[in-house]
Amino acid sequence: MGQENVMGQAVGMVGVGVMGFAMAANLRQAGFEVVGYDPVPAAIARLAGIGASGVGSARAVAEACSIVILSLPSSQALAAAVEGDTGLAAAATEGLVAIECSTLPLADKRAAFEVMAAAGQTLLDCPLSGTGAQAVVKDLVVFGSGDQAAFERCRPVFEGMSRVQRYLGAFGNGSVMKYLANLLVTIHNVSTAEAMVLGLKAGLDPSLIYDTLADSAGTSRMFQVRGPLMRDASYDTPTFTIRTHLKDLAIIGDFVQELNSPTPLFSAAAQIYHAGAAQGRDMQDTAAVCAVLEGLAGLPSR
């Protein structure tokens, strides 16, 4: 769908925090109208700055838009957005499609799916791979799952706020793929920190380490994204906090236990994030695992 086709088409946003606001801004730039709701008044107020409209409930968003994106922090927030008199399912909008983009337990997404289905509405499971900083520049990958016709109907919306859109089949496959992606992110982030700390311990300059390895066979996307933060020891303007990542670790851990699948690297890497939280770094960027390992290595604080 070209720019001329989307001009004036309204897309809803329920949840306009870091990720949600970035998506809303990109959708506005792509030519969509955006109508948003967030329980935090300041989040709704930010919408005016990008020419979007704020309303007072998830239901009001759905009554203004037939496609609604959900970007939410918890299962409780998802239930509140879908259920009750102010939820999406109470809207009389014909053909409503809600796109659930959060990383949440699959059982809770399926419960929301049933609520929407009972109201004749469609819920897609479409987690996003990427940080808040990546969301700002549309560097997101959509892991889409659920009704394929609904997914294709939403594709222009996905294209307005993401780099790649993958359709993965039945509802829930998107979440499973996100768990796999976050497992890799967990490990690669710690491996980046481990290499950086070993280099620092050997007396190498952190800029030299980053510049050399970022374009080597040993690089990873996490090395490229989080390596600069580790290089500069800059963790206090987070793209993704340790606290939020610990929520994801718990979700993945429960999923791993359900399947009784061995994840030794993931289990070992997770401990570094817990250590970071124990050291009071829970609101810092996940790149702060580098500072945790520097402490373990006996290096002075940078």
Cα–Cα distance between 14 and 264 in angstroms, integer? 37
For 134-161, give the DSSP string: HHHTT--EEEEBS-HHHHHHHHHHHHHH
Q: What is the mean pLDDT of each run of 10 residues along the chain (302 residues)?
A: 56 95 96 96 94 96 97 96 97 95 96 97 96 90 98 96 97 98 97 98 98 97 96 95 96 97 98 98 98 97 92
Closest CA to 57 of 28, 89, 33: 89
Q: Indicate if the alpha-carbon torsion angle 200, 203, 206, 212 is positive or negative.
A: negative
The model's pTM is 0.92
* Residue 17 · residue 73 · CB < 8 Å: yes
pLDDT the model gives residue 13: 98
**How are strands ordered across the β-sheet holding 10-14?**
53-54, 33-37, 10-14, 67-70, 97-100, 122-125
pLDDT the model gives residue 192: 98
Cα–Cα distance between 80 and 6 in angstroms, integer? 30
pLDDT the model gives residue 1: 39
Cα–Cα distance between 86 and 280 in angstroms, integer? 37
Q: Indicate if the alpha-carbon torsion angle 116, 117, 121, 124 is positive or negative.
A: positive
Q: Indicate if the alpha-carbon torsion angle 17, 18, 22, 25 is positive or negative.
A: positive
Cα–Cα distance between 157 and 34 in angstroms, integer? 11
174: CB partners within 8 A, 6+ apart: 124, 125, 126, 127, 143, 144, 145, 146, 168
pLDDT the model gives residue 5: 52
pLDDT the model gives residue 131: 83
**64 C-beta neighbours (distance < 10 Å), count:** 20
